[in-house]
């Protein structure tokens, strides 16, 4: 279960990187299209980058976060439940920021900053799972006679 915990946390980190790449491709593609004569108005549905960003951010990463939280109860990672809760909370906050940013675009800055926090926290969760199990006793430093 520790390996599953580590993989799930790592996949969330990778998902955040995919999100950053997808939204960058989306908007650079949109800018290129505008330079080519495309008009972006209320009927513009985005491009494949926007779609990928939406799918990964609203479906895949939340699913991974829920799975990480469930696995955390069985993985015997020191502080594993706490770190999984941090990840879950940041994912929930990320989704809230995304929806709020449509009404108040300045909140998009918080969406971006929170993504960096999620990347760091998911990475820390994965790193914690690479250590010794929470139930393992510390090695004795006393010499036996």
Q: What residues make up the domain containing 119? A: 2-30+47-129
130 versus 116: the higher-pLDDT residue is 116
Q: Is residue 35 part of a domain?
A: no
Q: Which of 22-26, 58-62, 134-138 has the lowest mean pLDDT?
A: 134-138
Q: Is residue 137 part of a domain?
A: no
CA within 13 Å, CB half, 38 = 16
Per DSSP, helices labelled H in 36-131 are 48-55, 61-72, 80-103, 107-129
Q: How confident is the model at residue 131 (pLDDT cuts 50, 70, 90)?
A: confident
Which residues, other chains included, contact 117 with Cβ-Cβ below 8 Å and sequence gap of 6+?
A: 90
Q: Is residue 11 part of a domain?
A: yes
The reported pLDDT for the residue numbered 1 is 92
pLDDT at 129 over 60: yes
Look at the alpha carbons of 55, 56, 61, 64 in this order and tell me if their dihedral is positive or negative: positive
Are the CB atoms for 19 and 53 separated by under 8 Å? yes
Mean pLDDT of the chain: 92
Report residue 94: phi and psi, to 5°: -60, -45
The reported pLDDT for the residue numbered 141 is 57
Overall residue count recorded for the chain in this entry = 145
Q: Is residue 97 part of a domain?
A: yes
Q: How many domains does the chain have?
A: 1
Q: Is residue 41 part of a domain?
A: no
pLDDT at 136 over 70: no
Q: Is residue 42 part of a domain?
A: no
Q: Is residue 136 part of a domain?
A: no
pLDDT in tens, 61-109: 999 999 999 999 999 999 999 999 999 999 999 999 999 999 999 999 9
Q: Is residue 124 part of a domain?
A: yes
């Amino acid at each position: 279960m520790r390996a599953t915990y580590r993989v799930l946390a790592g996949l969330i980190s990778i998902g955040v990187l995919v999100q950053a790449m997808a939204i960058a491709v989306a908007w650079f593609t949109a800018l290129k299209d505008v330079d080519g004569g495309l008009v972006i108005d209320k009927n513009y549905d985005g491009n494949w980058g926007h779609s990928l960003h939406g799918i990964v951010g609203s479906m895949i990463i939340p699913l991974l976060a829920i799975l990480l939280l469930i696995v955390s109860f069985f993985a015997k990672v020191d502080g594993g439940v706490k770190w999984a809760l941090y990840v879950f909370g940041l994912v929930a906050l990320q989704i809230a920021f995304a929806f709020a940013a449509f009404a108040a675009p300045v909140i998009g800055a918080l969406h971006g900053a929170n993504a960096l926090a999620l990347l760091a926290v998911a990475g820390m969760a994965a790193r914690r799972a690479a250590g010794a199990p929470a139930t393992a006793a510390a090695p004795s430093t006393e010499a036996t006679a």
